[in-house]
Structure 1
Amino acid sequence: MATPIPPIDDSHTKTDDMRLEIFCLIWLDANANVEENRNTEQRLHSIINRLMKFQDIKQCQKYIEERSQKDRLVMIVNGRLGREIVPSIHKLRQVIAIYVYCMDKTSNEQWARKFPKVKAVVVELDELVSRIRADQKIQKMIEEPFSINIFTA
């Protein structure tokens, strides 16, 4: 299943909502917990601090839909599950980027073309990490509030 998620309540006092980090990486894949992905997981943590792993598409979609529109969600999904979930979450404001990690790049690129938030379809974990790192540098510059230092003016 997925990593533990705190129960959702309407009081909005969840620790999830009290954090300063607005970026969250969501990894939806039936094989997300396999040993070969552990190293990749650590590398991804160095890019985006919060990582949520899901193996169940319904739990993942529920988690995404319940996030604040102020959150910025980056998603990794395999090709099969991506075909199912991407059409229903693509228009959500909180979803800013989707990366498809798969074995069949050609067929997954065909369906992914319809969705501008799909930033890459990759078959190698190293390429996946590199793309997320590069895109996230740009995204942080866009999302971070501008600060003005009156002493340097």
Structure 2
Amino acid sequence: MSQNKIIWLDANSSDPVSSFRSKLGDAQTFTRADNCIQYVQSHSNESIYLIVSGSLAKEVVPEIYECSNLVQIYLFCGSIAAYAEWGMNYCDKLMIFNHEDDVLERLWNDLHKNLRDQAMLLSKRAEEYKQRVLEYRQPCG
């Protein structure tokens, strides 16, 4: 199972008093597209959920969209209409938001679903191993 990683790419993501930053918790932040691209491409063992500002989206999304570890992209911008047509090229992994609460609600819902799916898979595997143990259990005496 890969680790889920939240990444926030925004020129203002390093602002320590950002309320959005505090709501994200332990998200990895980037202020430059090239650093973010390098991170996504070099961390194939992580399932990445990327929040990207509109101002950097057109630079970064085409570079990382095909990365298999990129689960979802949340484009956070001032105007959904300004990115709607462009975003159609990336609609399998891209959602566009103009309010931070909407981004966060969707992110937490997506992570919740992913973790529940992983838990169910792990529980199923555990049951399979339990059955294997029973096959090899020898009676005492």
Question: Number of paired residues?
Answer: 125
Partner of 2:86: 111
Structure 2 residue 41 is the aligned partner of structure 1 residue 65: yes
> What is the letter of the counterpart of residue 20 of structure 2?
T
More helix, by proportion: 2
- Choose which of 88, 107, 114 in structure 2 pairs with 1:132: 107
CA distance in 2, matches of 1:53, 1:113: 26
Distance 2:70 2:117 in 1: 15
After superposition, what is the alpha-carbon deviation per residue over 1:33-54, rounded to whole angstroms, capped at 9, x for unaligned?
33563x3223222xxxx41101
Look up the match of 1:16.
none
Q: Over residues 63-93 of structure 1, what are the superposed CA-to-partner deviations in whole Å (9 max), with x where a residue is unaligned?
A: 111102x310000001121111111101101
TM-score by length of 2: 0.78
Specify whether residues 105 and 36 from structure 1 end up closer, same or farther in structure 2 by C-alpha distance, changes over 3 A only.
Answer: farther
Structure 1 alignment gaps of length 5 or more = 1-19
- Find out whether 1:100 has 2:100 as its counterpart: no
Which protein is bigger by CA-based radius of gyration?
Answer: 2
RMSD: 2.1
**Is there any run of 5+ residues in structure 2 with no aligned partner, and where?**
132-141
Matches within 5 A, 1:14-33: 22-33=3-14
Moved over 4 A (4+): none
